[in-house]
Structure 1
């Protein structure tokens, strides 16, 4: 039986976590309100019980109910463990595999392209590619706040043994997220306030976008001048 894999204390702790999660949505969800009240009452009855024999019996029954609810958690009106992280994890997975939609580096061969009439376009495309990658990564990291990770960290640290294989596979990306955050922000930014970090982030994004715009205007000027000179020769 599944219950034998976990101690009763672990299962009751999971039950209290479910009550807490259900209470977050109970104001607008009748099922969540009923389930939160039902589970809380079962757990409270155990604490009130004076007879050891009766308490042991109630604990066993309560644990069986908690495990049954957990087994069917996809139908329980709570935010599932790691649910909010999945879209971000999908993006990070693509970045790890280098499957993002940017043009491969080998396309930008300056030695081959320097004598080509399209070298100005290649130069522009290279800046767009490099800056887009930076903007993409920085924007992604900006999405990954401590608040976003905190709830999932709680599931992992306190109820790891109850998570499914799929949920556990999601957990593996948490360290990757932290590593990317540290490598991009650096240790020196620990002393910065949240306001300073946000201002710095937007300043960097604006600089990269402005660089692309300046290169675009330069390309436009060169292209129009080339057309103008060509029409004069005709």
Structure 2
């Protein structure tokens, strides 16, 4: 099984829009995709229960069918705060072991690639001792880093890449995402610096998309075959 974990340099880097764009791009090459948002903090109450907008985008972008929302997003928390705090408020104890059980259940559906989107940055806590990074390592996922193209992105990207490598996970690529309408000062120079310094190839640069339509952005990424070659280690 090919498993990719999408991490971000910070909370508003654009993980979801990039993750969904990856799913749409992979589908162009007939790759069977599953998506997972193991923990989501920030949800609205619906007739079907709590729903998180990021998880709903992933559910729409993946091409596997007959998969329930609860399998895509097993832990959905109402408060838009750090997951471990939101879980504590809801009387829930998060753990890597629990998330692994959910991941293994989801992975029983036929697929070629499972994409998992994190929450916040790489080292977001699950509890006093474990982080979402520990879960990514336990799953054996390759990591794609989404870099929000804004002031501070160089430091955030290099620090996160170093932390990913230190954890023992493999950083296989990064995606630059412009999260605001205005282009950051010297954006291209920042991109070129990241291309030279990050220890993984650039998979694409996503421009600002006012409607947050990831399907429109899929064409800015490497082609499906090239992505799968990187993700599968071919």
Bin for the TM-score computed over the shorter chain: under 0.3
Q: What is the TM-score of this pair, normalised by structure 1?
A: 0.22
- The structure having more radius of gyration, on CA atoms, is 1
Greater helix share, structure number:
1
Greater RCO structure (CA 8 Å; 6+ sep): 2
